[in-house]
Amino acid sequence: MFQTPAYLARGTARQQRAYRALQSLGIFRVLRAYTPVLAGTIPLGVDIRGSDLDIICHARDLDAFARAVTDAFSARPGFRLARVTIKRIPSLIANFDHAGFPIEIFGQPQPVTEQNAYRHLIVEARLLKIGGERARRAIRQMKNAGLKTEPAFARYFGIAGDPYEELLRLSRLSVRELKELFADG
C-alpha cells in the first residue's frame, strides 16, 4: 500500500493536500531511482499541525543521491542538506518547504523496507488496524500534547521498554500476531 502515494488521493483532507503537494513537486518521479516511500504520520492519519512529509529512499551512493536531491530541490525555501550517521549507517537528510508542508528526504544505503522509518510505518499501520479510530484519535491527542509518534503508540498499546526498539521488534509480527498481543489496546 505505501509503495506509491496514490492512496493519499482518497484519504483525509490533509492526506489529499499532501498528495497534491507531492504531485506538484514531482518528487516521486525525480527520486524514482531511489525507490522513494512516504513514511511518517501523514500516511497513517496520526499527523498533527506541522507534521512533515517524510520521504525515505534507498541511496546506495550517498554522493550521487546528494547531487540528485540538491539539483532538484536546492531552490526550494528552507533547503538544507546534512550527512549524518544513524546507528553506524551513513545517511543523508534534506529538508525544505513546499505547498505548506515541511518536507524531509532521507536516504540510506539500505533498502527502504529495511529502514527503521519504514518498519515503524508498517507496524504502526498494523496496530491502527487493531486499535481503529479510537487509537488514531488517542495517538493524535498524545502527539498534540508533545509526545513523539513512537512513544505515543507505545503508551497507547502498553508497550514497555524503548518504544523505537520495541516497535522495530514488533514489525516482524503479522496483524494476527499483533492482535493476540494488543487486542485490548
Domains in the chain, CATH or no CATH each: 5-112 (3.30.460), 118-182 (no CATH)
Neighbouring residues of 136: CB distance < 8 A, sequence distance ≥ 6: 44, 45, 46, 128
Copy the grid coordinates of residue 120.
515503524
pLDDT recorded at residue 1 = 67
Residue 79, judged by CB atoms within 10 A of its CB (0-12, 13-18, 19+), counts as middle
pLDDT recorded at residue 185 = 46
Neighbouring residues of 58: CB distance < 8 A, sequence distance ≥ 6: 34, 35, 107, 108, 109, 110, 111, 112, 115
Please tell me the pTM assigned to this model: 0.92
Q: Are 80 and 95 in contact (CB under 8 A)?
A: yes
pLDDT recorded at residue 90 = 96
CA nearest to 169, candidates 148, 185, 184, 153:
153
Region of 35 on the Ramachandran plot (φ > 0 left; ψ -120 to 50 alpha; else beta): left
Could you give the CA distance from residue 55 to residue 77 in angstroms, rounded to a whole number? 17
Tens of pLDDT along the chain (185 residues)?
A: 677 888 899 999 999 999 999 999 999 999 999 999 999 999 999 999 889 999 999 999 999 999 999 999 999 999 999 999 998 999 999 999 999 999 999 999 999 999 999 999 999 999 999 999 999 999 999 999 999 999 999 999 999 999 999 999 999 988 899 988 876 54
Task: Provide the residue type at 117 as one letter.
Answer: A
